[in-house]
Amino acid sequence: MKGRVILVDDYGEGSIVAAELADTGLEVEQVRSCPVGEGIVALLAGPDVPVGPVELAALPDLRIVAATSTGFDHLDLDAIRAAGIYATHVAGYCDEEVAEHVIAMSCSLLRGLHVLDPVARQGRWYDYGSFPPRRIAGARMGIAGFGRIGREVAVRALALGFVVSAYDPFADADAMRAARVERVVDLTTLAATSDVLTLHAALSDATREMIGCEVIAAMPPGSFIVNCARAGLIDHDALGEAIRSGHLGGAALDVFPVEPPRPDDPVFGWPRTLVTPHAAWYSSDAAKAPYQRAARQALAVLEGREPDNTLVSPRR
């Protein structure tokens, strides 16, 4: 088998892809920007690498664009379809990690760990008054988006005693009932009945800033928002105002509008806010999985097989 497989992803390691494609005859390279030229049969594109008409026109032998991420908004699927090549992504590679991160953040917010840690370090022992820890069992968790990760969050939340409800216009109502999750018919109602609101929707024109002034205002005083999905799902100005005013008890954020955020990003000045550096997806296993899976998808196409997690197929 001949051809070049190019990885364009600053977070990945070409050696992982090379190991998956060993003994195939394919050449594996890792580069910093979208390549140009003949002989490139597979492009493994990280989430910061746009692939559209211009990039495709420069790759005449390309047969597959494999996103090394769950999200694929950096791929122009219409252009890829028009070019008659495959597009894939690596959905599900870090579902457990993200769900666990959400639960850890939710429990930290309710128990006040992010506030009580500096209190203890300052020697203010038994000083719970400014942020009394709350009981987790019986707390209401609202899940906005009941896809793979939303379902994983629900399983873990129910095990801890949360009362779980969810809003997702595309989710099956019977599946929600089977999962012991109450189905809510609109986002504002979900917000109004949640002590912790966690976001698990894909980012699109329809969902951009879906958590805005109206939804935040509907949330109970002292409630919390957790976002390990996409920063664009939230109106950050509205969120910051609600936290500073005391309407929200706080928030936990793993994603930001600009990453990495500037040192003077307003988020760092919000009180009662827990921040992690886009780490929800990470474990040692999850760090390798996207590149292993993208390499296998490329190999499947080059061997004439249908890859998994197909977004665009020239056979359809």
pLDDT along the chain (316 residues), means of 10: 95 95 96 95 96 97 96 94 97 96 98 93 88 96 96 98 97 92 96 98 92 98 97 97 97 96 95 96 95 98 96 89
Tokens representing 126 are 């038994």
Do 79 and 115 reside in the same domain of the chain?
no
Strands 182-183 and 163-167: parallel
Complete DSSP assignment for 184-233: -SSHHHHHHT-SEEEE-PPPSTTTTT-B-HHHHHHSPTTEEEEE-S-GGG
Do 230 and 269 reside in the same domain of the chain?
yes
Do 87 and 111 reside in the same domain of the chain?
no
Q: Residue 135 is part of which domain span?
A: 95-275
Do 89 and 205 reside in the same domain of the chain?
no
Do 131 and 165 reside in the same domain of the chain?
yes
Pick from 22, 44, 48: nearest CA to 35: 44
pTM attached to this predicted model: 0.87
Do 124 and 61 reside in the same domain of the chain?
no
Do 43 and 182 reside in the same domain of the chain?
no
Do 62 and 197 reside in the same domain of the chain?
no
Catalytic residues: 230, 259, 278
pLDDT, position 189: 97
Do 169 and 53 reside in the same domain of the chain?
no
pLDDT, position 163: 98
Do 75 and 106 reside in the same domain of the chain?
no
The total domain count for the chain is 2
Kindly report the CATH number assigned to the domain that includes residue 87. Answer: 3.40.50.720
Do 41 and 73 reside in the same domain of the chain?
yes
Do 65 and 212 reside in the same domain of the chain?
no
